[in-house]
Every structure is written in C-alpha cells, then in structure tokens.
Amino acid sequence: MMLERLLVANRGEIAVRIIRAARDLGISTVAVHSDADAGALHVQIADAAVNIGPPAARKSYLNTEAILQAAAATGCDAIHPGYGFLAENAGFADAVAAAGMVFVGPSGDAIRLMGDKVAARSAAHAAGVPVVPGSMGRVADIGEARHLLMETGFPVMIKAAAGGGGRGIRIAHNLTEFESGFPQAQAEALAAFGDGGLYMEKVVQRARHIEVQVLGDGTDAIHCYERECSLQRRRQKVWEEAPSLALTDRARDELCASAVRLARAVGYSGAGTVEYLYDDLSGAFFFIEMNTRIQVEHPVTEMVTGVDLVAEGLRIAAGEGLRLRQSDIRVQGHAIEVRLNAEDPARDFAPCPGTVGELRVPGGPGLRFDSMLYPGCQVPPFYDSLLGKLIVHAEDRPAAIRRLSRALSELSIGGMKTTQPLFVALAGDPELREGAVHTRWLEGWLNRHAGRLAADMEP
C-alpha cells in the first residue's frame, strides 16, 4: 500500500524534488519551514506547510520534537529526511518509528552502523569489500597512531570516526605534520560531531572518487551503477558525472558487486551510496564510507538509467520491496551535474545570500534544472548556499560537455554572485575534457586560474 501523507523534513532544492516525486505517486505532502523560509518554493508547492521555528537550524530543521509534532498535527504517516540536517541521524529515524510513522530510509541501526566510519570499515571488510589500508578500529591515542605509521607510512590521513562533510580530517606528509594534525583533527571532530574518536588511512596518491548507487529493501539489494565525483574543493563535490571514464568493464562489475554485498550485509533499506577511492595507477579500489540517504548528485544516475531514485525510495518505504531487478538497470549515454551555489569564486567562494532578480532557465532535450529558485525569492544566510543543480544528458561525454556549455550560456541568475563562471571555465578546459582528473585536481586548477575567475566575475 502506498503512503498517504508525507512530511518532508528538509528545505531547498531537495525538498522541492521530494515533494514533486511524492505528488507524482499520489502522495499528499507537508512542508516544514523556518521563519526564514516562509516564502520558499517547497512551502509554496506542498499541499500544506508548518512553521517549525526560528531561522537557526538547531531550532527548526534540526528540532526533532517540532518536526514530529508537525507530522502528527497534519496526519502524516511518513517522514522523508532528504539529505543533510537529520538525514543520517539514527536517533531521528528511531523517533519517527517510535511515533508510529514510516521513516523513508534505512533503519536507525543501519544508519548507526554505517555512520561510524570505523564500524563501517569493519562491516565492509567482513563483507569482502576492500578497504583503504589503515587502522581497522579507532586509534586509542597518538601513541598508538605513531605505531601504526610503521605500517601505513606517509602520506597518511587522520579522520574523524563520526565524520562527514570533510570535517575532522588532516593529511600528514611527515612526522611534524602528523604530530600537529592529530590533536587538531581530534579537537575539530569533537566540536563538529561531539565525538573526538579518530582512525587512520593511507593516502591514495592519484585517487578518483567513485560511488555506487544502491537500492535495498532490507533483505535484497541492487545497484544502479556508478558516479564519479572527483572534482572537489576542500573535499566538497562540485561536479559529478556518470558513468566514470576510469573504469574498465571488469572493474565496474567488481565495484558495483561489492556495493551490493555491503548493502545486503547491513540489511539496507532505501536509496544509499557506497563510496570508494579508485587508484588510477593500479586500478585498485577501496571502500571509504556509505551515505545512508539520497545524495545531492543522484540526478546523474537517474539521467543515465531512467530510474527515479526518490520514487523508488518512497515505494520501498511503503513496503513494496524492490520492484526492479538487476537485469532491469541499463546505462545509456553520459550525464553531468554541476552544483550552483550562491558563492563568489573570486573571493574564496564566500557565501552571497540575497534576493534573486532575473531568472532565465535553459531548456532543450537532455537537460534538467533542480532548484529552489524563482524571481524574487530570498536566499537566506543561515543554511547551505546550494541554489540548484544543472544536469545534462547526451549520447556520450563530449556531447554532454557541449550541452553543459550551451546550458550554462543560457542560464542567468540575477541579484547575486554564483559559481556559474567556475563551471563555464571548467567545461572549456582541455584537461578536464580529456577526463584526466583526480580528487586534488580542482584545487590545483583553482590556484592556477584564480585571476581568470576574478576577471570573469567582474560585471
């Protein structure tokens, strides 16, 4: 039986995306919003909306009690967390279930297991999934970490066990950097996650970031192939595409099969992503983490497979199980997504909140614009600066890049500075067009082209 009334516990473009998918399935929707988002697009398009508090996220979008009260008051039988905020909060998933509602996503136990990076490494290892060489558990203290260095060598990555979003991470290339980086990572992890636990991994020098989209129903699981997310700034993804140019057919089969093994092993339910580092030199791949939610970059997978991942997640949550078999999933063509943020690339990507002026959205075949934007809408300073995602699909990668360039030339977002000039420049870069990138490539590119971006941002 399909869900009847869904509360979307999020905001911005992902809330809009979920509301549209739910309404396509005949599910009534309820939006929640802070005072700052009273006029937001997700509020306008939902069937009902509830104000859950002041602008500060901890008093609104992170307020479990307010969200549950809103769901109960509006007669909801399910809650979708989207991404960010409470999406990977095991306690929230437990609280939704305890309130007699369906949490659209995995169980609290699965979130808890995969949210602890050390426990996730152990689970992956037990499922026969390769992990990056390093500590199999948390390192007790800096003394134990020094001893482990004899096995890993330099460079080594010190990472928060309960981490995410690039926080609580330090890379040490020598003992001096290690001695200073360990306590820094510990303090940052404690401040960000309330947990100062750390583990260590060997740094893969020429790494690509490749992730596998999975769908599970708690018993079985399938994959929807991979996405490459190697273009990153400060460990934050900015450009994603599918499929990856780096993989051979054999490597792709092995990578995707390992993701399914892990999803089955942890009893995963819903849409999730298993993330890997791929060594461009050796062809080896290593598990790094599992994201127990829908991803920002899920549209590129939808474009090449034709699978509506949000809709499938809703069907699974409603108890339908997996409708699709592995043999049903095929990849056609190539898709690219770029994240458009209200940031100024010429000023170290400083946030640029404000009011959207003129808005011109590109059109044509093979193009999708997932956003929260409309002329006159407010972009508040309290949340993530993501405005939307421009996604293109074409018969191959060169055609997709050409389509992206054309779409970027048509797109106009007035009233604030955005990251659009960055993607215009990247789409024309010969090295990127060749696909010879890795996780540190964009940082180097930005250093070389800082002056060019500043000039492009001039009115």
Specify the pairing of strand 221-233 against strand 236-242: antiparallel
Cβ atoms of residues 283 and 251 within 8 Å? yes
Token representation of residue 11? 């905001």
Calpha distance 356→389 (Å, rounded):
16
Q: Which residues pair with 199 in a beta bridge?
A: 159
Do 402 and 410 touch, CB atoms closer than 8 A? Answer: no
Residue 131: alpha-carbon gap to chain centroid = 20
Bridge partners, 30 (sequence order): 7, 48
Residue 138 contacts residue 120 (beta carbons within 8 Å):
no
- The answer to whether 403 is a known catalytic residue is no
Report the distance separating Cα 370 and Cα 72, nearest Å.
29
Per the structure block, which two tokens stand in for 182?
């360990």
CA nearest to 68, candidates 45, 94, 90, 46? 94
Residue type, 182: F
For residue 154 the two structure tokens come to: 């330099």
Task: Name 4's bridge partners.
Answer: none
In sequence order, which residues have a C-beta less than 8 Å from that of residue 458 and are 6 or more positions away? none
Catalytic residue among 5, 121, 208, 293: 293
Residue identified by tokens 């461009």 is: 280
Please state, in angstroms and rounded to a whole number, the distance separating the CA atoms of residues 363 and 313.
Answer: 28
Residue 449, helix vs strand vs coil: coil
Q: Which of 52, 3, 7 is nearest to 26 (CA)?
A: 3
Partners of 360 in beta bridges: 412
| DSSP-assigned states of every residue in 43-76 | HHHSSEEEEEE-SSGGGTTT-HHHHHHHHHHTT-
23: which 2 tokens?
């309404």
Compute φ and ψ for 390, nearest 5 degrees.
-100, 120
Say if residues 70 and 86 touch (Cβ distance below 8 Å). Answer: no
Q: Tokens in use for 51?
A: 């104000």
- Residues classed as catalytic: 293
